[in-house]
């Protein structure tokens, strides 16, 4: 176990970036470069930090129970959910098995992805020799499905939102790579470059198509390109520790005790302060394209 004796409970709170906690749940932000769990004894993981945080804050004696309900790959950042009781863990795990949770990711992928949104499906099997997964045409793989939506072009790359409909190991990374658009920086799955392209950020969908609605204020898309450039910069700032441009942005589950639907979102301060405006404008443009307004 790592030596945490000199770290105050407050500093554990800061280290963990606690998003939410109650008697049954602990939800934290995982930075890229930190393993969720599974390292040899004595190594620091998100789980060991979280257990020590609970132990110190509530003066727990002995071993602290925390069930790992969701986990992220080492190079991926975002929302991670722990259960503080075995009953909560069992009920939450059942939701994940039944695919009743909602898992939304944001990613920057190489290339200009097309169409603007689509389902990606396929069977995934493990490639133990290369310590990764791959898509297969055979029956030995597990069914995998996600839905992506392009939010904007970032120079020669694309900012996309991903609704992960199943939860296979490395699923997003493998499926996007197989589709020809690996996650930026994900050398393991074929990314060619792990640096931000030094080109003017563009959003062709907003530039080339006028929003046909007089009620939409023009100032909502003023400086849109500069905001996108800031998102691209901020999104990759935390990727310097061996990370990739993939972020678990939002997680929705039913509370294991009350049953109420509850959504956990990464604070924008931990990702990019420009994202609220970016996502808002993308929703306006998407609605206009579908004929929902105007």
Give the mean pLDDT of 1-27.
70
Q: Distance from first CA to last CA of the chain, Å, rounded?
A: 60
List C-alpha distances in Å: 57 to 45, 53, 67, 106. Answer: 18, 6, 18, 32
Within a 10 A sphere around the Cβ of 193, how many other Cβ atoms? 13
Residue range 44-99, pLDDT digits in tens: 889 989 998 999 888 888 889 999 999 999 889 899 999 999 999 999 999 999 99
Instruction: Examine the residue annotation and report whether 73 is marked as an active-site residue of this protein.
Output: yes
Question: Which residue ranges does the chain devote to CATH 3.30.2350.10?
Answer: 1-98
CB burial readout 13-27, b (16+ within 10 A) else e? eebbebbebeebbbb
Q: Are 186 and 178 in contact (CB under 8 A)?
A: no
State the Cα–Cα distance between residues 170 and 40, nearest whole angstrom.
Answer: 21
- Angle subtended at Cα 122 by Cα 114 and Cα 184, rounded to the nearest 5 degrees: 50
According to CATH, what is the number of the domain 102-294?
3.30.2350
Alpha-carbon distance 199 to 222, whole Å? 19
CATH superfamily of 1-98: Pseudouridine synthase (3.30.2350.10)
| Whole-model pTM over 0.85 | no
The stretch 265-291 carries a mean pLDDT of: 60
Looking at 22, 73, 186, 234, which residue is catalytic? 73
């Amino acid at each position: 176990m790592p030596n945490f004796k000199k770290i105050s409970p407050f500093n554990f709170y800061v280290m963990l970036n606690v998003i939410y906690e109650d008697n049954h749940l602990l939800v934290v932000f995982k930075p890229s470069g930190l393993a969720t769990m599974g390292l040899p004894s004595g190594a620091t993981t998100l789980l060991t930090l979280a257990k020590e945080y609970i132990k110190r804050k509530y003066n727990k004696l002995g071993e602290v129970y925390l069930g790992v309900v969701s986990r992220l790959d080492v190079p991926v950042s975002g929302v991670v959910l722990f259960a503080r009781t075995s009953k909560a863990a069992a009920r939450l795990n059942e939701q994940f098995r039944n695919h009743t949770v909602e898992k939304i990711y944001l990613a920057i992928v190489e290339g200009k992805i097309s169409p603007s949104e689509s389902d990606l499906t396929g069977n995934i099997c493990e490639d133990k020799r290369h310590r990764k997964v791959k898509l297969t045409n055979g029956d030995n793989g597990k069914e995998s499905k996600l839905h992506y939506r392009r939010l904007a072009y970032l120079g020669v790359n694309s900012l996309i939102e991903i609704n992960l409909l199943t939860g296979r190991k490395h699923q997003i990374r493998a499926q996007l790579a197989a589709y020809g658009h690996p996650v930026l920086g994900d050398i393991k799955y074929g990314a060619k470059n792990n640096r931000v392209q030094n080109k003017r950020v563009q959003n062709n969908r907003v530039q080339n198509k006028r929003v046909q609605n007089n009620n939409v204020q023009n100032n909502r898309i003023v400086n849109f390109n500069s905001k996108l450039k800031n998102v691209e910069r901020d999104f990759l700032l935390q990727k310097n520790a061996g990370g990739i441009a993939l972020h678990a942005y939002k997680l929705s589950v039913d509370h294991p005790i009350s049953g109420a639907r509850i959504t956990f979102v990464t604070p924008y301060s931990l990702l990019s302060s420009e994202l609220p405006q970016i996502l808002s404008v993308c929703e306006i443009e998407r609605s206009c394209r579908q004929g929902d307004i105007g």
